[in-house]
Amino acid sequence: MNDMTPTREQRTAALEGMGCKRKRVEDIRFTQGKGNYVDDVKLPGMLHGDFVRSPHAHARVKAIKADEALKVPGVLAVITAETLKTVNLAWMPTLAGDVQMVLADGKVLFQNQEVAFVVATDRYAADDGINKVEVEYEPLPPLIDPFKAMDHNAPVLREDLADKTTGAHGPRKHHNHIFEWTVGDKDLTDAAFRKAEVTIKEMISYHRTHPSPLETCQCVCSFDKVKGELTIWGTFQAPHVIRTVVSLIAKLPEQKIHVIAPDIGGGFGNKVGAYPGYICAAVASIVTGKPVKWVEDRIENLTATSFARDYHMTTEVAATKEGKVTGLRVHVLADHGAFDACADPSKWPAGFFNIVTGSYDFPTAHLVVDGVYTNKAPGGVAYRCSFRVTEAAYCIERAMDILAQKLGMDPAELRLKNFIKPEQFPYHSALGWEYDSGDYHTAMRKMMETTDYAALRKEQASRRAAFKRGETREIMGLGVSFFTEIVGAGPSKNCDILGIAMFDSCEIRMHPTGAGIARMGTKSQGQGHETTWAQIIATEIGIPADNIQVEEGNTDTAPYGLGTYGSRSTPVAGAAIAMAARKIKAKAQMIAAYKLEVHEDDLEFDIDGFRVKGLPEKFMSMKDICWAAYNSVPPGMEPGLEAVSYYDPPNMTYPFGAYLCVMDIDVDTGVYKVRRFYALDDCGTRINPMIIEGQVHGGLTEAFAIAMGQEIRYDDTGNVVTGSFMDFFMPTAVETPHWETDFTVTPSPHHPIGAKGVGESPNVGGVPAFSNAVNDAFSFLGSTHIQMPHDFWRNWKAAKNLGAVA
Amino acid sequence: MAKTHVTMKVDGAEVEGLVEPRTLLVHFIRENLQLTGTHVGCETTHCGACTVDLDGMSVKSCTVFAVQADGSEITTIEGMANPDGSLSALQEGFRMMHGLQCGFCTPGMIMRAHRLLQENPSPTEQDIRMGMSGNLCRCTGYQNIIRAIQYAAAKLNNVEFKEAAE
């Protein structure tokens, strides 16, 4: 070899494969304002639709008068439930097995519910039309408090279900009851509590909030009457599912529906479901024969599409005096709003909340979730988490701190004592999951060493003493959180959406010159798939990532996939990519063997091509193999080099992490300062460390927002009082803390490349870290649990209630 | 509704149009001029996705009427690349430092950062945090946006960019 021959390191680096901090290909267009988001789609003759919405939380709709609206210049149509009934679309199915009004049918059930859809030549005219639609309401008593939903005299919200004693998930106990979901062994758990030396019980609430991506939900629907084809551009995290849903409910042949998800401005779970706006825009386009655009404004987004959380978790832990946990009992009251539109896999009415045993070796546990209707917006989406996993992680992580406090133990020590041990994996949890891999002790100890946890506890002790002596008005809290996530939904044996198994897919097509295109069933909303998916292919087949174009979001060209949410893209689609790439590689090996005139077993893959074992100079690059695939394949072999993989995962993946928040709170003002935040994540194999770090920063910022102030709050009559960015806490660069990130690597044993998914871990682990910090700060004053969100006012109130403020 | 004739200079080009008195500047830019890089995220002046540079000031174009901008000079994200079409220092900084994810806030961020660096060519981290506080991002947690602006500032000042220690 001469000096010009690239080294192995240079050849590997040239691929920009897995493990490389590859710069994002998406950024070239995004930094120049050349992205193509839904509202950027403009079609000739396009109309705009917008909603008349209910001012009431609960009211009968007596009449809708559209005459004056139709006189407004530019207004072409006013669609109501009566219009939709003519095409059997006044109601639509939800992902949770319920039905939901598309437009108010006789009644409204939450404030800002969609009542009528005004179609006009532009968005200003549509707004003028809305102002002229007269709706006569007869107010009804609103039901806002979920704890009163099943009172005997509670108002009947869902008259359509009034005489139904069974719902999609079994028996209903009350006219406002949706389902009861139970998991675990009740008798064994009750026995554990009877025998327990120590128990704790606390009602831990996770308040209602909202994903609020910076781009709201929107669509453009265009119906071609001649071809009978409907094209929909939309903010869809799962475009294929939308196509199938539209086909089923609009009775259009699926091949005549073209769903395109262009660039998406953040999703965080908000853009999984199907909303009335999509249905109304599609109907309006079919009726008018013109393209119709619907763009939600921010107030509509916060108040009508897809809240998250609203779980009220009565949590009990049984333990020995030494702090070994012996049982967990949780009852959840789940407020689902007016329609059960939770975006969970069909068989999971409370998502994967049964991950609530967390990272700990509970011998037994029992869980009951009761879902109820209230006069609030529907939703219950997985806001930057796998389904209900952040609620579960918050529940158990608060409970462990409360138990530590009762035992007089350090919360980190209590966790170390109860962790599932490395040799116990694969671990079967008391509530039915098989954890794939983990090394919790190593992660926790790394966190404690890096942050000098022991020194921080010493500092806290001396500052508490100083506070008691009256030398300071500031209290210090350490928030420990150790979460285990469950992501990658999911195996067809237990995960489906409307009957479609939750596999995912990849098609790779290599071109003669050593380039290629990969098409996916997933859809990036900022995760950087165009960059990272190419990195997986680069490492697998030895073609530079720069030569691989990744395309997502067009249901005509992409193989069927279930989309991007619940950190499922890397665990499921990432595996499909590797499997498709390996099919390419297998065929490439046969071609190389033919060209090098050896048996294929005599070849070994070497970074970017195949080499004859023991004869290093006999080598054929993947680039040359691509060319050969189109002109000189072995006799009997089909030409070309492409592959498709549909990957049905054998199990979920279980990312985990150890977080620490150090916080100081001024008791006289309630003002807090996050002094330090350390996040160690183990997401298995790391595809692009730069993107992982960026996702952790973003998820932590959302966790910070949720824990410290972000809330969808209703007053007693059902008015949303946090319906704009004025009132709904969105941290700016000023409030947002500095983030420290770290990692360990415990690959998933069942995933082809060992990757587990990371995007949602920081939200799941971050919320309890912040809340535990606040609670830890106040604990020495005698409190055991203070509910989120921990804004300044509530902190001050907590200090006052505890007697720390006069 | 009666329409008013407006003229302005946008990204170096003289433009004109007929607008209603109530037409928002952001809609004039996006719909009339077809410059869709400027985004709408909240319509209430909170998020900053619609930020443009108007006569030397950062302005949220969702809360300015097009008629108010009559006769003004505006720069949008589409006018930010170098004359040869390459990425400007800020655009390059955002890419190199991973200062964006979904890209929806990015045009507003870059436009605000552009004006911030005119006002303060060598900002500290705290200066940047304060100076960017009118622009919301849901993806990045701001940390890499700050690094992106520091990268651009160093490049524009012709000094070596030193990444802050973790």
Cβ contact A27–B130 (<8 Å): no
State the average pLDDT over residues A727-733. Answer: 97
Cβ contact B103–A298 (<8 Å): no
User: pLDDT grade, residue A481 (50/70/90)?
Assistant: very high
Cβ contact B141–A736 (<8 Å): yes
Nearest by CB: B36 against A40, A265, A741: A40
Of the candidates A96, A208, A53, the residue with the CA atom closest to the CA atom of residue A145: A208
Nearest CA of chain A to the CA of B53: how many Å? Answer: 14
Tokens of B157: 């000042």
Contact list, B37 vs chain A (CB under 8 Å): 32-35
Cβ contact B37–A33 (<8 Å): yes
Q: What is the pLDDT of residue B165?
A: 47
State the average pLDDT over residues B57-79. Answer: 98
CA A74 to chain centre: 39
User: pLDDT grade, residue A683 (50/70/90)?
Assistant: very high
Q: What is the pLDDT of residue A779?
A: 98
User: B116 at the A interface (CB within 8 A)?
Assistant: no
Percent of chain A with pLDDT over 70: 100
Structure confidence by residue, pLDDT tens digits, A494-504? 999 989 999 99
Q: Is the pLDDT of residue A281 over 70?
A: yes
Nearest CA of chain A to the CA of B107: how many Å? Answer: 6
| Helix A440-451 with A453-468: angle, nearest 10 deg | 60
Q: What is the pLDDT of residue A453?
A: 98
Nearest by CB: A525 against B39, B47, B102: B102
Phi, psi torsion values for A343, nearest 5 degrees: -95, 75
Predicted ipTM of the assembly: 0.98
Nearest by CB: A739 against B35, B43, B141: B141
> Residues 212-231, chain A: which have Cβ within 8 Å of B?
212-216
The overall average pLDDT reported for chain B is 96
Of the candidates A253, A261, A251, A258, the residue with the CA atom closest to the CA atom of residue A230: A258
Q: Is the pLDDT of residue A4 over 90?
A: no
State the average pLDDT over residues A481-493. Answer: 96
Cβ contact B104–A215 (<8 Å): yes
Q: Is the pLDDT of residue A656 over 70?
A: yes
State the average pLDDT over residues A225-237. Answer: 97
Q: How many other C-beta atoms are found inside a 10 Å radius of the C-beta of residue B153?
A: 23
What topology is assigned to A8-35+504-647 in CATH?
Answer: Aldehyde Oxidoreductase; domain 4 (3.30.365)
User: B128 at the A interface (CB within 8 A)?
Assistant: yes
Task: Just list the catalytic residues of A.
Answer: 237, 384-385, 760
Q: Is the pLDDT of residue A245 over 50?
A: yes
Q: Give DSSP secondary structure letters for B47-116.
A: S-TTEEEETTEEEEGGGSBGGGGTT-EEE-GGG-S-TTSSPPHHHHHHHHTT--SS-SSHHHHHHHHHHH
State the average pLDDT over residues A240-264. Answer: 95
In chain B, the residue whose alpha carbon lies closest to the alpha carbon of A74 is B1
Interface size between A and B, measured as CB pairs under 8 A:
178
A8-35+504-647 and A38-140+216-264+271-304 share one fold: no
Instruction: Give exposure, B87-113, as e/b (b: 16+ Cβ within 10 Å).
Output: bbbbbbbbbbbbbbbbbbbbbbbbbbb
User: pLDDT grade, residue A212 (50/70/90)?
Assistant: very high
What span, in angstroms and rounded, lies between the C-alpha atoms of A723 and A294? 20
In chain B, the residue whose alpha carbon lies closest to the alpha carbon of A211 is B138
Tokens of B95: 């890419």
State the average pLDDT over residues A112-123. Answer: 98
State the average pLDDT over residues B25-29. Answer: 98
Q: Is the pLDDT of residue B1 over 80?
A: no
At the top level of CATH, which class does the domain A307-489+652-801 belong to?
A: alpha beta
User: A301 at the B interface (CB within 8 A)?
Assistant: no
In chain B, the residue whose alpha carbon lies closest to the alpha carbon of A742 is B166
Cβ contact B102–A526 (<8 Å): yes
Structure confidence by residue, pLDDT tens digits, A127-144? 999 999 999 999 999 999
Cβ contact B46–A690 (<8 Å): no
In chain B, the residue whose alpha carbon lies closest to the alpha carbon of A691 is B98
Q: Under CATH, which number does the domain A38-140+216-264+271-304 receive?
A: 3.90.1170.50
Nearest CA of chain A to the CA of B3: how many Å? Answer: 14
What span, in angstroms and rounded, lies between the C-alpha atoms of A337 and A340? 7
Q: Is the pLDDT of residue B69 over 50?
A: yes
Single-letter residue type at B95: R
Cβ contact A32–B46 (<8 Å): no
Structure confidence by residue, pLDDT tens digits, A632-653? 999 999 999 999 999 999 999 9
Domain boundaries, chain A: 8-35+504-647, 38-140+216-264+271-304, 307-489+652-801
Burial classification of residue B40, based on how many CB atoms lie within 10 Å of its CB (0-12 exposed, 13-18 middle, 19 or more buried): buried
What span, in angstroms and rounded, lies between the C-alpha atoms of A494 and A773? 37
Q: Is the pLDDT of residue A2 over 80?
A: no
Nearest CA of chain B to the CA of A423: how many Å? Answer: 33
Cβ contact A213–B104 (<8 Å): yes
Structure confidence by residue, pLDDT tens digits, B98-127? 999 999 999 999 999 999 999 999 999 999
Q: Are strands A740-743 and A672-682 parallel, antiparallel or unpaired?
A: parallel
Structure confidence by residue, pLDDT tens digits, A570-617? 999 999 999 999 999 999 999 999 999 999 999 999 999 999 999 999
What span, in angstroms and rounded, lies between the C-alpha atoms of A659 and A769? 6
Contact list, B166 vs chain A (CB under 8 Å): 740-741
What span, in angstroms and rounded, lies between the C-alpha atoms of A122 and A128? 10
Contact list, B31 vs chain A (CB under 8 Å): 42, 122
Q: What is the pLDDT of residue A343?
A: 86
State the average pLDDT over residues A338-362. Answer: 95
Tokens of A733: 């660069």
Structure confidence by residue, pLDDT tens digits, A140-178? 999 999 999 999 999 999 999 988 999 999 999 999 999
CA A545 to chain centre: 27
Q: What is the pLDDT of residue B162?
A: 82
Q: Is the pLDDT of residue A1 over 80?
A: no
Cβ contact A298–B166 (<8 Å): no
> Residues 75-94, chain B: which have Cβ within 8 Å of A?
76-78, 80-81, 87, 91-92, 94
